[in-house]
Amino acid sequence: MVTQQTVRKLAPGDKFFLRVAAVSPAGAGPPATLDQPIHIREIIEAPKIRVPRHLRQTYTRQVGETVNLQIPFQGNPKPQVSWTHNGQALDSKRVSVRTGDQDSILFIRSAQRSDSGCYELTVRLETLEARAAINILVIEKPNPPSSIRLVDVWGCNVALEWTPPQDTGNTELLGYTVQKADKKTEQWFTVLERYHPTSCTISDLIVGNSYSFRVFSENLCGLSDSPAITKELAHIRKIDIVAKLKGFVERDFSEAPSFTQPLADHTTTSGYSTQLSCSVRASPKPKIIWMKNNMNIQGDPKYRTFSEQGVYTLEIRKPSPFDSGVYTCKAVNMLGEASVDCRLEVKGRGTAIAAGLSELSTLGRVAYMGRGGGVSAWEVATSCSGFSTPNLVPRGPPSSNLWDLFQP
């Protein structure tokens, strides 16, 4: 036996009575009736507000900008929506609100600093409600520092001091920007940016210049429209400092030339450049004169001279046995002179002695006077290593026994 029943397709808002009677073959019994009518209503969905992520922290706008906040919500049936500003009703002359089925929009055409504060949205459905608070901050550029003072000038340094602005633009300051300008160019250059203290020291100023200084305040909107400027100029003067010490005797570092490292005797091979070096100590710096066999060789293109930190070098380019001799280095300054010498020996690469040869040319061609009085020309090729006797290799007719003509 069924003891329950569902009645469908009832219109919301209707009220009606229900009664139930038991039925048997003998007929229907007396019905049971409810004391109060039944009121048909929609199923209630609790109200909820979905605050956008960017509005979960303070919403900052500049003076004159628009404020347009769209806040979604939900609830069934449609809930009642209301706004307050700092706990008070909104000023309808400045703020407009439009509420739809699923969101509410708060709009301010031109924001002013007085519009800053906490805006609270309330969504209510009978005894259920949801609230959301949105903080709005309307800011503008700060005022410049109230005053600035030139505290001190010493050397190439200037000390400045200023007082904070009376109005920071409804927000915290990010710091101060300090600039300087010299009187000659009148161009401003930034010295400090976003500097938080209210005093500073500016260094590395140019001697002989006169400087002005100015300070801007800065917040999120930028620098103040005008700066605070020093009334007087800072003159960077040259200061002559003369120190007199009693009992101090200035040392004389003047010194006549003296050789700390003399020239050394040297042996070299013909055709290979060689160098002769020595070191000299003197003050003032001496004049250096190079000589060969007591003859001045300055300006001779065969020789080159170098000097580095008191070490003097003479280079002889591709010397020959003719360049052998005694070389002298002479140092002269106003206090005196000194000299040192060495012997250079230049050895040839090898010589050849040929018996019966009347002439040996530098090209290696030999004029040979034969036994019959005839003259024949032969080429002589030589090779040697170091200073040993050369090895002569004859080139001529195979029938000639030139080895008999050479005497090593």
| pLDDT tens track for 337-378 | 999 999 999 998 654 444 333 334 344 444 444 444 444 444
Write down the pLDDT at residue 130. 94
Query: Among positive and negative, which fits the CA dihedral 142, 148, 154, 155?
Result: positive
Residue 248, pLDDT score: 65
pLDDT tens track for 258-305: 999 999 999 999 999 999 999 999 999 999 999 999 999 988 999 999
Q: Would you say 163 and 176 are in contact if contact means Cβ atoms under 8 Å apart?
A: no
Instruction: Please report the pLDDT score of residue 368 as a whole number.
Output: 45
Percent of the chain residues past pLDDT 90, beyond the cut: 63
Domains of the chain, each with CATH number or no CATH: 46-139 (2.60.40.10), 147-235 (2.60.40.10), 255-347 (2.60.40.10), 357-404 (no CATH)
- Residue 266: partners with Cβ closer than 8 Å, 6 or more residues away: 274, 276, 342, 343, 344, 345
How many other CB atoms sit within 10 Å of the CB of residue 117? 16
Q: What is the pLDDT of residue 242?
A: 64
Q: How high is the pLDDT of residue 240? A: 65
Task: Residue 265: name the closest of 322, 219, 325, 220 by CA.
Answer: 325
**Regions of the chain where pLDDT drops below 70:** 43, 240-248, 349-408
